[in-house]
Amino acid sequence: MCGIIGYAGLVGGAAERVYEGLLRLEYRGYDSAGISVLGEGGITTIKRSGRVSCLEKAARELGGNIAIGHTRWATHGAPSDVNAHPHNCGVFSVVHNGIIENYSELKEELAAQGKKCVSETDSEVVALLADSLYCGDPLAAVAAAVRRLRGSFALAVLCSGFNGFIAVRQKSPVAIGVSSGAYFAASDVPALPDEAEDVYFLEDGDIAVVTPEGIAFYDSALNGQKRISCRILRGQFTADKGGYAHFMEKETAEDARTVRDTAEAFLRSADVGGIANLLKGADEIIITGCGTAYNAGLIARRYFEEALCRRVSVEIASELRYYPPPSGKNTLVIAVSQSGETADTVEATLRLREGGASVIAVTNCGYSAITRIAHMVVPVCAGAEICVAATKSYMGQLAALYLISRCTGDVAAAAEELEGVAEKLEEVLSQEERAVALSELFAVSFAVFFLGRGLDYDAAVEASLKLKEVSYIFSDAYPSGELKHGTLALVDENTSSLIIICQPQTAKKSVSAVHEVLCRGGEVAVLTTLPDVARELEDFLPVWLLPPVEPRLAPFLCAAALQRTAYLTAVRLGRNPDKPRNLAKSVTVE
């Protein structure tokens, strides 16, 4: 959701370093991009609508020691050259990730002083405001401007005549990596160059002044702050396709490894007793997240309900933040987020915590906003996930949530079960001809419905999201019992239905759904772990028989099969699965 970069180094090539960082950060937004470089004659800016690569030639020519850059996911104003960042005014050049909520009032106020915005963005007001408050001290001007801003923002600011840049964090992430002779700021760690091993994570309200000689941290009143850097293991964060055609392909191939690493980390470091006490002591348990993370919560709810013999709720974070439960006291919130920075998940969790709830965060990013809110953090060990569509992180979320749900019982046995799952995931990915056949069916369908009951329905919800976001084929998921309550009206020869049948207790019911769709002329395929079901259906429709597994663990296998199928469908239709249109990774705005 927009990415910002800043660079301050003793040697030249700043624009090129920023350009390379933007390429690594492009998954956060890819409708336009720009770079500003500080030179002796002032600031030079290049910005264009389109992909980061359109800046390559100019970036190689610009040089400089200090530069900032931006890759955009439009919120205010269409993707265009003029709306691209950086935005300049007077001595300032600004890149911004987030939303300035009071930009309209500020725009009016600045216009009355004769300072007019040229773009339709909310971000441009930051440059205008800083310039209007400038009396020769760039830090004072930026801090004064920040005090006037409402909303979420990560900023990198250049000021003509000042040999450095200023970075600001308010609810949108900023990491600053240090290598010898250079400082590098970015919205996400994978955008930092490999040599920047020591990383500072700005706190909300921080202002960092970064020069080639060092960093100083302040709060918005300009009181000095002490921040401690962390050493980051670079291997964990590499943003490299590793020989695969796309990140999505590489990342789905890492599903099994993610389950193993997540289980191993849990056994090594989780406070099993502490988690068990939270589970046993809570009056209410709420799992929350957005998108795929929410979908992992749907599966997890069944795990918790089975293990604890009680009701557990799963709430979409963007709803929960405005419609919290009446009493927050003695509530346990399990907040699930790959990035740990999703604005709605962070805000919903914060609100419940402020009302007295305990919080367990399940996240792939150990230094994220959600970890600062949580009482306890359970890591998902997926490593850097660059494809916008979540794949291996979902697998890791399922593994972590499964282990949390087993904390009142035998966690070691649950981890062993997950080792078995990991082996089967490798088997699923070797059933390539099945995924190819299914992708051929989906690619010619006007719409694809995913159906199932119980955990199979929960798995269907994620499968549907994955297919629609990377292939742009209309898709939805339904409990198969709901078909005749409306959805059946949509079934015809141009639609396909994928029916997931892995829960023995409702298998017969789901087989009936197969027949209901078939006799209305719809295309049907079945995904099952149950050999009996496969035998019954395989003579008259495509059946993908997955390796046998405990029914409650079947969602792991379904996800791997359907992630791969979604990928193949997208590629077959000529889509770029890594960068679906209109989407971006890390939704740091509401």
Residue numbers annotated as active site: 2, 585
Note whether 315 binds ligand F6R by CB under 6 A. Answer: no
Nearer to ligand F6R by Cβ, of 36 and 349: the residue is: 349
Given the DSSP bridges, would you call strands 92-100 and 66-72 parallel, antiparallel or unpaired? unpaired
Minimum distance from CB of 122 to ligand F6R (Å)?
21
Distance, in Å, from the CA atom of 467 to the CA atom of 564, rounded to the nearest integer, reads 10
Rule CB under 6 A: choose which of 275, 568, 587, 589 binds ligand F6R: 587
Nearer to ligand F6R by Cβ, of 14 and 346: the residue is: 346
Q: Exposed e or buried b for every residue in 36-61, given b needs 16+ CB within 10 A? A: bbbbeeebbbbbbbebbeebeebbee
> Is 313 in contact with 264 (CB distance < 8 Å)?
no
Q: Chain centroid to CA 37: how far?
A: 30
Nearer to ligand F6R by Cβ, of 94 and 465: the residue is: 465
> Is 286 in contact with 315 (CB distance < 8 Å)?
yes
CA contacts within 13 A on the Cβ side of 454: 17
Nearer to ligand F6R by Cβ, of 287 and 587: the residue is: 587
Rule CB under 6 A: choose which of 188, 315, 469, 578 binds ligand F6R: 469
Distance, in Å, from the CA atom of 427 to the CA atom of 421, rounded to the nearest integer, reads 10
Closest residue to ligand F6R, based on beta-carbon distance: 291
Minimum distance from CB of 389 to ligand F6R (Å)?
4
Minimum distance from CB of 398 to ligand F6R (Å)?
13
With CB under 6 A as the rule, give the number of residues binding ligand F6R: 16
Minimum distance from CB of 255 to ligand F6R (Å)?
14
Nearest 5°: the CA angle 179, 181, 186 is 50
Nearer to ligand F6R by Cβ, of 469 and 523: the residue is: 469
Distance, in Å, from the CA atom of 161 to the CA atom of 283, rounded to the nearest integer, reads 59
Minimum distance from CB of 45 to ligand F6R (Å)?
31
Binding mask 446-465 for ligand F6R (x = CB under 6 A): -------------------x
Q: Which of residues 275-314 bind ligand F6R (CB under 6 A)?
A: 289-293
Q: What is the helix, strand, coil percentage profile of the chain, to 5?
A: 40, 25, 35
Q: Is 323 exposed, middle or buried (0-12, 13-18, 19+ CB in 10 A)?
A: exposed
Residue 81, number of CB atoms within 10 A of its CB:
13
Minimum distance from CB of 369 to ligand F6R (Å)?
10
Minimum distance from CB of 346 to ligand F6R (Å)?
9
Rule CB under 6 A: choose which of 389, 507, 513, 566 binds ligand F6R: 389
* H helix or E strand, kind and range, residue 137: none
The type of residue at 108 is E
Nearer to ligand F6R by Cβ, of 219 and 319: the residue is: 319
Q: How far is CA 27 from CA 121, 363, 427, 463, in A?
A: 21, 19, 30, 21
Instruction: Classify 556 as helix, strand or coil.
Output: helix
Q: What is the DSSP string of 177-226?
A: EEETTEEEEESSGGGS-TT--EEEEPPTT-EEEEETTEEEEE-TT--EE-
Distance, in Å, from the CA atom of 213 to the CA atom of 180, rounded to the nearest integer, reads 10
Minimum distance from CB of 115 to ligand F6R (Å)?
36
Nearer to ligand F6R by Cβ, of 43 and 293: the residue is: 293
Residues paired with 524 in a beta bridge? 497
Distance, in Å, from the CA atom of 163 to the CA atom of 365, rounded to the nearest integer, reads 32
Of 12-20, 88-96, 123-131, 333-341, which part binds ligand F6R (CB under 6 A)? 333-341
Distance, in Å, from the CA atom of 515 to the CA atom of 512, rounded to the nearest integer, reads 5
Note whether 248 binds ligand F6R by CB under 6 A. Answer: no
The type of residue at 191 is A
Minimum distance from CB of 465 to ligand F6R (Å)?
6
Binding mask 334-353 for ligand F6R (x = CB under 6 A): ---xxx--x--x--------
Nearer to ligand F6R by Cβ, of 185 and 362: the residue is: 362
Alpha helices in 482-553, H assignment, sequence order: 507-518, 531-537
* Contact footprint for ligand F6R (CB under 6 A): 289-293, 337-339, 342, 345, 389-390, 465, 469, 586-587
